[in-house]
C-alpha cells in the first residue's frame, strides 16, 4: 500500500548560502537511489529552513519491486557431456542461482551458445530498504565548509540534532552520526518549546506551522515579499526587487514577519550606495524608495524571524543598529574626502596584491600600460585616450579608503563618488566605477568604452600574473576567481565586438610584470631574474590561451550555438574572440541551407585527400590536364581573392555563400578526375590543388568537426 514518506534532518542553523545547493543535491540523490532500488513513488520534493532539511516523497509504494534478471552461465558445449548429461559446471551454476538445470535457457552470444538462468528476487518492505539507503543519501550531501562536532568524525554542514523519519504512521529506523530516528521534531527555536510529536507523514507540514515553522521556502518567500510591498506602499514608498537579498532572507528565517523602520534624514546627504550597502550587506534590510521621485527615503524594511509580538521593540533595536552603521559611514566618508584619490596613490605601495606579484601600486601601473595598449590597438585618441589614462591611474586608489576598508562591497562605487568630488570628469569617475564589472555571471557589463578597456586590462593582468606565478585554478578550486574574470573578458569583447588579439593581450600583460613591454625577442630567462614568476612567456601564452578557449566554448554554447558548430569555429583559431562569435553565428545560419549536408560531405572528402599531400609549393598550371581540374583551379583562385576581401570586412556570411558555389566544380572534379594516379607529379599537383582548397575553406570553420 502506498503512503507518504517524510524525512527531516534537524541541524543547528545553517548559512543561507548552503541551503539552495544542498536541496538540489538531496532531491537528485533521492531520485537516483529510489530508482536504483526499485522504489515507486509519485513525486519527490525537498524543503528547508535554517534548522532543517526535509525530503517529502508522495505515495511511496510499500514494497520494493521484484528484480527479474538473466544471469549468464557456462557455455553450452561445456554444460553437458557427450551423452547429454549436465556437467559439474552447469550443476554448480544452477545451484548457485537457486534454479533447476531444466529451467535454464540457451542464448546465442558472439557466435557461441551460453546457459542463462532467469532469477527473480522478491522485493523487500520499503522500511527495510529506506533504513539502508537514507543514511547513504545523507552522507553523500556535501557543503562548502563541512563541520565535525564533539568526538565524532562525521561531517555535515552544521551539527545534526535530530532525525524524523516516517512512512505513513510508521517510524523508519535509521542510525546516523549517533542519532536514532523517531517521530519527534522541534518547532521555532524561541516560539515553540520542547519536542513536537508528528503522528503521520501527511500531518507534518501543518504540525510545523502550528509551531511557527513554515517549511516550504517558496511560501516563506511569497509571504516576505508580500509583507515588504505592503509596508512600503503604506509608507508612500516602494522597494526594488532584489532576488538575491530575498532568497537570503528566506533562508535565514522560519516564520517571517516584516517591519518598517526609519533613520535620520540628514544621512540622505551621503551618496545613496553609502546608505544602501550597510542596509543590504550588513543588516539584510530592504531600502525604501520614494514612490514619486524614486530617490532613497529615510526608511528601511527588515524581516523578523518570529511573530508580531513586541514588534515595536524589535523595530527600535534595528533602527539603533542601523543608525550606528550610518554614523560610521558618514565619519569615514568625511575623513576620506580630506585627501584626493591622486594623493592616496603612494599609499598603494604598502598594499601587497599577491605574494610574488607585487603591490597594488605596481598593478595600477600595469593596468595603465595595458589599457593604453588596448586603446592604441582600437585607434582611440584625443579626450577618450586621456580619460582612459586618468581613470587607470585612479581606479585602485579607493582600496585604501576608510569606506572600502569597512565596506569592501563599495570598491569602485565609492571610487566614483570620490572622483566626482575631487573634480574629476564624469567619464573618468564612471570608468573607475565600471572597471570592476562584471562581478558575477549575471552582472551588467561596463557601459562606456573607458570602463570596458580598464575592466579588460585589470582582469587580464590578474589572470596572466596568476598563471605565470603557478597559481592556476585546479578542479573546483579557484581562490582568485580567475574563471569568473575570464568569463567577464569574453562577455565584454563579444557584447561590444571589440577587435582585439588575445595573443597580443596575453603577451603584453605578461611583459607588464617584467617592465619590458618594449622588449622584443626571447624572455625565457629574464623573468626569473626580475620577478617571482615561475613560468616563461611561451608557457603562459599556451596555458592562458587554452584557459580562454574553455571559457569561450561555454559562452558560445550558452548563446545558442550547437556544440559541433562551436568545435568547428574554434578549430580554425579564436585569437579574435568577437570574430569567432561572428563566424559561429554565420555558420549556424549557413547550416539551415538545404545543400549544407552535401557541402560537408564534399569538403570532408577534400580535407581527407589534402592530408595526403606532401607538397608545400603552389599548384603547377602546366600539370593540369583535364578541363575540370583547370576549372577547379580557377574557382580556387577566385574564391581565395574573395575570401581575402570578405574577411577584411568581417562578412563571414558572404564567405560561406561563396563557398557553396564551389560544390559544382568540386563534384565535377571528383566525377571526372582520378586523383591518385600513378604519375607522381600529376598526383601531387592534384593533391596540392585540394590542399589549397581545404586551407581556404577553413577561413570560417573546420567542416570536419560538423556532425551530420
What residues pair up with 69 in beta bridges, in sequence order? 119
Mean pLDDT, rounded, for 561-578: 95
* Confidence (pLDDT) at 588: 93
Q: Is residue 571 a part of any domain in this protein? A: no
- Provide the strand spans (E) within 475-563: none
* Confidence (pLDDT) at 533: 86
Which of 121, 136, 158 lies at the terminal end of a domain, its last residue? Answer: 121
Q: Which of 111-115, 442-446, 452-456, 555-559 has the lowest mean pLDDT?
A: 111-115
User: Residue 660 — very low, low, confident or very high, per pLDDT cuts 50/70/90?
Assistant: confident
- The residue that leads in pLDDT, 169 or 648, is 169
Domain CATH for 171: 3.30.70
d(CA 339, CA 228): 40
Which of 210, 231, 256 lies at the terminal end of a domain, its last residue? Answer: 210
Q: Is residue 364 a part of any domain in this protein? A: yes
User: Residue 595 — very low, low, confident or very high, per pLDDT cuts 50/70/90?
Assistant: confident
Q: Is residue 470 a part of any domain in this protein? A: yes
What pLDDT digit, counting tens, does each position of 174-223 carry?
Answer: 999 999 999 999 999 999 989 999 999 999 999 999 999 999 999 999 99
Three-state secondary structure call for residue 338: coil
For residue 704, what is its C-alpha cell?
Answer: 570536419
287 and 354 together in one domain: no
112 and 136 together in one domain: no
Q: Are 89 and 80 in contact (CB under 8 A)?
A: no
What residues pair up with 352 in beta bridges, in sequence order? 359
522 and 608 together in one domain: no
* Confidence (pLDDT) at 649: 81
676 and 597 together in one domain: yes
* Confidence (pLDDT) at 690: 87
Which of 529, 559, 589 lies at the terminal end of a domain, its last residue? Answer: 559
pLDDT for 524 beyond 50: no
110 and 137 together in one domain: no
231 and 244 together in one domain: yes
Exposed/middle/buried for residue 510 (C-beta within 10 Å: 0-12, 13-18, 19+): buried
What pLDDT digit, counting tens, does each position of 123-159 carry?
Answer: 899 999 999 999 999 999 999 899 999 888 999 999 9
Mean pLDDT of the chain: 91
325 and 450 together in one domain: no
Q: Identify the top-confidence range among 76-90, 309-323, 602-616.
A: 309-323
329 and 351 together in one domain: no
552-574 CB burial, b ≥16 within 10 A, e <16:
bbebbeeeebbeebbbbbbebeb
SS3 content of the chain, % helix, strand, coil (to 5): 55, 15, 30
Q: Is residue 570 a part of any domain in this protein? A: no
20 and 91 together in one domain: no
d(CA 686, CA 457): 48
d(CA 555, CA 412): 26
What pLDDT digit, counting tens, does each position of 5-20 carry?
Answer: 999 999 999 999 999 9
Q: What is the pTM of this model?
A: 0.79
330 and 424 together in one domain: no
Sign for the CA dihedral angle at 278, 11, 22, 142 comes to: positive
User: Residue 593 — very low, low, confident or very high, per pLDDT cuts 50/70/90?
Assistant: confident
Mean pLDDT, rounded, for 281-290: 95
Q: Is residue 481 a part of any domain in this protein? A: yes
d(CA 415, CA 397): 7
d(CA 600, CA 330): 67
Three-state secondary structure call for residue 554: helix
Peptide linkage before 438 cis (omega within 30 of 0): yes
* Confidence (pLDDT) at 526: 43
Give me the domain span that covers residue 156: 3-62+125-210
Percent of the residues in the chain that have a pLDDT greater than 70, as a whole number:
97
pLDDT for 508 beyond 80: yes
Contacts 24+ apart (CB under 8 A), 549-555: 549/574, 551/483, 551/486, 551/487, 551/490, 552/490, 552/577, 552/580, 554/487, 555/487, 555/490, 555/491, 555/494
What pLDDT digit, counting tens, does each position of 41-96 carry?
Answer: 999 999 999 999 999 999 999 999 887 778 888 988 888 888 888 898 888 998 88
pLDDT for 516 beyond 80: no
What's the total number of domains in the chain?
A: 5
Q: Are 656 and 701 in contact (CB under 8 A)?
A: no
Q: Is residue 569 a part of any domain in this protein? A: no
Q: Is residue 565 a part of any domain in this protein? A: no
Exposed/middle/buried for residue 340 (C-beta within 10 Å: 0-12, 13-18, 19+): middle
619 and 481 together in one domain: no
d(CA 227, CA 642): 65
Three-state SS letters, 578-595? HHHHHHHHHHHHHCCCCC
Three-state secondary structure call for residue 238: strand
- The residue that leads in pLDDT, 613 or 149, is 149
Mean pLDDT, rounded, for 496-513: 95
User: Residue 518 — very low, low, confident or very high, per pLDDT cuts 50/70/90?
Assistant: very low
Angle at 361 between CA 502 and CA 451, to 5 degrees: 45
Q: Is residue 564 a part of any domain in this protein? A: no
* Confidence (pLDDT) at 617: 60
Q: Are 255 and 209 in contact (CB under 8 A)?
A: no
* Confidence (pLDDT) at 615: 63
222 and 299 together in one domain: yes
pLDDT for 523 beyond 50: no
Q: Any idea which residue has 585527400 for its cell?
A: 609
Amino acid at each position: 500500500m502506498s503512503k507518504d514518506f517524510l524525512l527531516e534532518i534537524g541541524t543547528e542553523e545553517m548559512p543561507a548560502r548552503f541551503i539552495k545547493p544542498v536541496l538540489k543535491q538531496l532531491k537528485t540523490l533521492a531520485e537516483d537511489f529510489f530508482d536504483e532500488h526499485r522504489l515507486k513513488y509519485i513525486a519527490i520534493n525537498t524543503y528547508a529552513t535554517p534548522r532543517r532539511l526535509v525530503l517529502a516523497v508522495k505515495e511511496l509504494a510499500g514494497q520494493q519491486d521484484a528484480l527479474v534478471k538473466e544471469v549468464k552461465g557456462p557455455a553450452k558445449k561445456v554444460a553437458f557431456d557427450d551423452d547429454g548429461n549436465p556437467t559439474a559446471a552447469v550443476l554448480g551454476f544452477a545451484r548457485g542461482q537457486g534454479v533447476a538445470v531444466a529451467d535454464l535457457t540457451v542464448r546465442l552470444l558472439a557466435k557461441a551458445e551460453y546457459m542463462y538462468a532467469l532469477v527473480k528476487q522478491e522485493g523487500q518492505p520499503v522500511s527495510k530498504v529506506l533504513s539502508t539507503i537514507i543514511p547513504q543519501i545523507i552522507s553523500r550531501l556535501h557543503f562548502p565548509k563541512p563541520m565535525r562536532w564533539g568526538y565524532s568524525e562525521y561531517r555535515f554542514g552544521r551539527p545534526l540534532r535530530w532525525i524524523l523519519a516516517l512512512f505513513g504512521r510508521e517510524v523508519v529506523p535509521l542510525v546516523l552520526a549517533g542519532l536514532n530516528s523517531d517521530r519527534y521534531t522541534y518547532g521555532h527555536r524561541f516560539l515553540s518549546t520542547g519536542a513536537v510529536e508528528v503522528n503521520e507523514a501527511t500531518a507534518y507540514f501543518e504540525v510545523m506551522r502550528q509551531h511557527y515553522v513554515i517549511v516550504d521556502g517558496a511560501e516563506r518567500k511569497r509571504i516576505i515579499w508580500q509583507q515588504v510591498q505592503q509596508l512600503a506602499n503604506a509608507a508612500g514608498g516602494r522597494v526594488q526587487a532584489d532576488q538575491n537579498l530575498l532568497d537570503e532572507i528566506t533562508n535565514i528565517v522560519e516564520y517571517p514577519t516584516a517591519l518598517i523602520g526609519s533613520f535620520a534624514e540628514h544621512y540622505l546627504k551621503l551618496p545613496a550606495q553609502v546608505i544602501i550597502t550597510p542596509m543590504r550587506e550588513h543588516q539584510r534590510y530592504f531600502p525604501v524608495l520614494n514612490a514619486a521621485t524614486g530617490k532613497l527615503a529615510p526608511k528601511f524594511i527588515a524581516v523578523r524571524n518570529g511573530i508580531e509580538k513586541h514588534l515595536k521593540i524589535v523595530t527600535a533595536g534595528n533602527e539603533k543598529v542601523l543608525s550606528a552603521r550610518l554614523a560610521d559611514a558618514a565619519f569615514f566618508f568625511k575623513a576620506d574626502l580630506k585627501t584626493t584619490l591622486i594623493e592616496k596613490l603612494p599609499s598603494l605601495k604598502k598594499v601587497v596584491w599577491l605574494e610574488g606579484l607585487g603591490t597594488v601600486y605596481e598593478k595600477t601601473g600595469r593596468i595603465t600600460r595595458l589599457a593604453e595598449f588596448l586603446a592604441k590597438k582600437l585607434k582611440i585618441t584625443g579626450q577618450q585616450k586621456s580619460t582612459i589614462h586618468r581613470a587607470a591611474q585612479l581606479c585602485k586608489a579607493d582600496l585604501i579608503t576608510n569606506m572600502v576598508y569597512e565596506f569592501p562591497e563599495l570598491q569602485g562605487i565609492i571610487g566614483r563618488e570620490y572622483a566626482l568630488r575631487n573634480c574629476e570628469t564624469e567619464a573618468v569617475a564612471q570608468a573607475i566605477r565600471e572597471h570592476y564589472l562584471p562581478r558575477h555571471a549575471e552582472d551588467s557589463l561596463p557601459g562606456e568604452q573607458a570602463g570596458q578597456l580598464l575592466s579588460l586590462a585589470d582582469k587580464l593582468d590578474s589572470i596572466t600574473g596568476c598563471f605565470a606565478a603557478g597559481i592556476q585554478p585546479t578542479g573546483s578550486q579557484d581562490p582568485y576567481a580567475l574563471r569568473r574574470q575570464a568569463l567577464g573578458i569574453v562577455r565584454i569583447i563579444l557584447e561590444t565586438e571589440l577587435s582585439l588579439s588575445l595573443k597580443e593581450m596575453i603577451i603584453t600583460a605578461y611583459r607588464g610584470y617584467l617592465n619590458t613591454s618594449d622588449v622584443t625577442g626571447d624572455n625565457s630567462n629574464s623573468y626569473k631574474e626580475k620577478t617571482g614568476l615561475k613560468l616563461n612567456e611561451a608557457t603562459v601564452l599556451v596555458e592562458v590561451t587554452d584557459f580562454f578557449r574553455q571559457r569561450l566554448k561555454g559562452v558560445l554554447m550558452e548563446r545558442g550555438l550547437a556544440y559541433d558548430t562551436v568545435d568547428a569555429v574554434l578549430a580554425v583559431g579564436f585569437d579574435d574572440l568577437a570574430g569567432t562569435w561572428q563566424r559561429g553565428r554565420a555558420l549556424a545560419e549557413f547550416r539551415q541551407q538545404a545543400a549544407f549536408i552535401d557541402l560537408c560531405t564534399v569538403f570532408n572528402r577534400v580535407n581527407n585527400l589534402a592530408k595526403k599531400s606532401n607538397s608545400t609549393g603552389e599548384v603547377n598550371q602546366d600539370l593540369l590536364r583535364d578541363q575540370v581540374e583547370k576549372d577547379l583551379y580557377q574557382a580556387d583562385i577566385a574564391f581565395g581573392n574573395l575570401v581575402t576581401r570578405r574577411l577584411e570586412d568581417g562578412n563571414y556570411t558572404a564567405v560561406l555563400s561563396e563557398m557553396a558555389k564551389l560544390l559544382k566544380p568540386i563534384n565535377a572534379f571528383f566525377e571526372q578526375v582520378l586523383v591518385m594516379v600513378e604519375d607522381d607529379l600529376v598526383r601531387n599537383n592534384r593533391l596540392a590543388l585540394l590542399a589549397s582548397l581545404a586551407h581556404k575553406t577553413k577561413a570560417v570553420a573546420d567542416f570536419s568537426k560538423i556532425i551530420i
